[in-house]
Structures are given as structure tokens and as C-alpha cells.
Chains A and B, each alone.
Chain A
Amino acid sequence: MQVTVNGKTLDLDVEPDMPLLWALRDVAGIRGPKFGCGIGACGACTVILDGAPVRSCSISVGDVAGEVTTIEGVASDGGLHPVQQAWLDEQVAQCGYCQAGQIMSAIALLNDIPDPSDEDIDNAMSGNLCRCGTYPRIRAAIHRAARMQAGA
């Protein structure tokens, strides 16, 4: 199977019905997307597929036609994406397990709506569960990232 991840075309020795999540994690060694539920209910495995946030546990690798971006591919030159920087500035993460998925959803939101309202954030982020309860700082970080990107 061929799949393009973070700008590179990977040739993966997998069956087409393997979920993208497991092809990334266990075959390609790309472990930013996390396994949380396997049914698309928690968002820990979120990647961006052609600009849209997608739960990689719930799409077969054979159905992926387009460019996949994972947390590993959002920044260049070892730097941080503005959303990652905002996360750092707001000291968002606690256990950190859901955060890659949260950040991918936030990046997709900001690409869509550069200056989201609280309601926009609620709508875009409701599929991403966090058991540590980092939501107040996620909200603050998304607003901060919006300001950073507007100023840039």
C-alpha cells in the first residue's frame, strides 16, 4: 500500500483494510497519533487528511486517497507550529496522551476559521476527549494561536 504522510510517500506492507492508525504506528513507526478507543470516539488518533481532521483509527489505509499530516509533520526545521507554540506558552498538556490529537484538531480548525469563537472551538474540539481536563488551557491556547497567526 502506498500512502503519503508528512510529504513522503511510504510503501507499506499492509492489508488495505488495516486502519490508518495501525499502519502509521506499528508499520511506519509514526507514533504521534495515539490509540485511544478504536471507534472514533476519543480523537487521540486524529490526523489531517487533505486539510480535514480525521480519526485515523476509523479509516482503512486502502481508503486513504490524499495527503496525511500527523503531529510529526506540522512544523519544519525542528521548530514548532504556532499552535504547538501556543500550547507550550499556555502550558496546556498534563499527561499529554490526547494532546497530539487535540493539536491536530486545533490546526484544522484554525485553517478553516482563523479567529474562532468559543462556540467554534466547542464544535471543532468536542470529538477530542481529555481525561486530565486540560480544556480551559486548550481553549486559551487556540485563542492565543489565532492571535499569533493573525500577527504573523
Chain B
Amino acid sequence: MLRRFDGVSVDGIIGASGTELIDIALMCERLGYEPQKTRRFIKSLGFEQVRLLRRPQTVSDLAQAAVPPLLEALKLEPDSLDAFIFVTQSQDYIVPAPTYCLQQPLGLSEEVLMLDLVQGCTGFVYGLFYAATLLCSGVCNKVLVCAGDTSGYDGRQKGQEANDLLFGDGLGAAVLSRRPDAAGLWFSLQSHGALHDVIIEPNGRSKYKRSLDYDQGHIEDTGTFIDGPRLADYVLNSGKADVLRLLEAAGLKSTALSYCIAHQANKTLLKALAGLCALTPEQMPFLAAHTGNTSSASIPLSLSESSQSLPKLKEAPALLCSFGVGMAVASALVDLRRTLILPALYLD
């Protein structure tokens, strides 16, 4: 789907994570890795530390920490929001949905429209897209979007050790509103469900728990399985195609972008994707060396952590490029020149 929305403004963005920093080199040593293997992990993934949320805190706690200062900075009362979109794969409960648990703590009105989405690394861009549809249709005037996940270390399958060394926890929040003079927002979304097994948590839910050989006394938590080669292939083909078609639709050359803020999957992938999209490494920066891959939060959290080192955000449009579990790619061409980007919060 390729769509343009006029008169929609991204008013503010904030990111949040935990205060716990895990040193990857130390973690590798604890896991008994050879120094050379440790060096290889850090060199190719690019993560020197991953930032985690302390237990028992969850992604809902991040939302409760991040949203009030964002609304305050924008001089908005919580009950002035018309819709609340929450995107996560790390919900507190299967039922009820996360928005219901957050409605009262966030002070949202009983008239608020609540929408829960299950998306991974594309979650923030998906959230922006749905917000734009609600705003552009005239249904809503102000929409709050939260996207976050707690994907940090919790034990993995053999051959999947890299997963322990790349995922962090985080959340991003944004407020969008209708504003007639706002520049057009472009979105390109593509879904490839035939590849749903490229990134999969096989024992996570009903498919495992309702299987005939499921033993309640022995629950095997295998974590997330990632098919590395197929993931690389997907991102470099579909990610590149998504970015290029969005630029073409908007009539822009890559040089017209301030930055392409990509999902911070890992350093090697971003470098390769930048090259294939004719973007300089400076235009598609790797910003998560001390945060980790925070799934749906990675784009807003990166913006929130690094906006001071991204001065061109105030000069030209930016492209947000996300890709991952589904498989899915979701990109947005956004004008962040008037967007209030608050520094990231770290929850103790």
C-alpha cells in the first residue's frame, strides 16, 4: 500500500528504555564465548551494550513514564486525545488488550478510541499510518501512538546465540494531529506473510500450547528463531524496494532526504541497505550501539536518543524505514522539522 496523507502533523516524539546496561563483551565472556567470537559479534552487529528494563517492569511501565512528559511538553491534556494506538508484541496480558490497562493510568477519556496492534520492528511506522488514517478521515483531531517491546535476553536456541547479543527493551511515543499547513505524509507498507517463519517464536502461544504432544510439566521456551540468510535477503530486497518506491512516489531523490532513520536491526545490515538505496552512511546512521535492537521502539527511541546529533532533521524531510517480523516492510516520509523530539527517558 502506497498512500499520501495531507494535513497531518507529527507534533512530538519521545523514547524510553530502562537504566540497566548490559555490556556485550562481558556477557559473551559469561556465556563462555571465545574472545574472537565476541569480537565478531560486536563488529558485525554493532551493539556494544544493550539497554534493558528491570524486572518486573514491562512495556506498560515505559508508556506510563514516557507519555505524560510528552503531553506536557506539547501542552496537551490526556483527555484531549481522540485515539490511542498501542503497538507491541510484549503485552502484559493476552487479555485484556494493553490499551485497556493503560487508559486510566494515562488519564485518557472514556470517549477515546483504542486500537491495539501486533507488529514487530515495523510497529512504529504502522502506528503512524493508522493514526494518519484516523486524522485524515476527520474521525480524530489528536492521536497518541505508542510502540514498544521488551525483547531483551531470556535464553535462546542453539545456533541462535546472536539473539542474546542484540535485543534491548524500549518504547517510543508520538502525538499526531490535524494541521492544514502540515507537509504531506507518505507511507509505503508491504506485507509478505508467506515468509512468516523467517522470524518466529515457535513455542510462544496456542500453536504450541494446543499441540497434541504439549506437556504442561515441561514447557520448552525456545525464544525467537531467526533465519539469518532469509532475513538478510528480505531486508536487502524488500527494504530497498520500499525505500525507492516511496522516494519515487514523492518525487524526491535520496539526496533530498535529511536522513533515513532505519529500524536499528544491526550495523552490517544498515550499511548494506544504505549502499543499495544510494544513501550515504551518514544519511542512514546506526544509532543503537549502546541501546540494542529494540524492535518496534527502535526508530522513535533512536530519534529521541540522538536528535542532537542529527541536525539536518530540521532542514529536510526524513524517511523512516522499518522491516522485520511478518515479514513486513513499512516506510514513511515525514517532515520532522517542526516536531518536538524530547530526550529519551530511562526508567530505574
A joins B in a complex: no
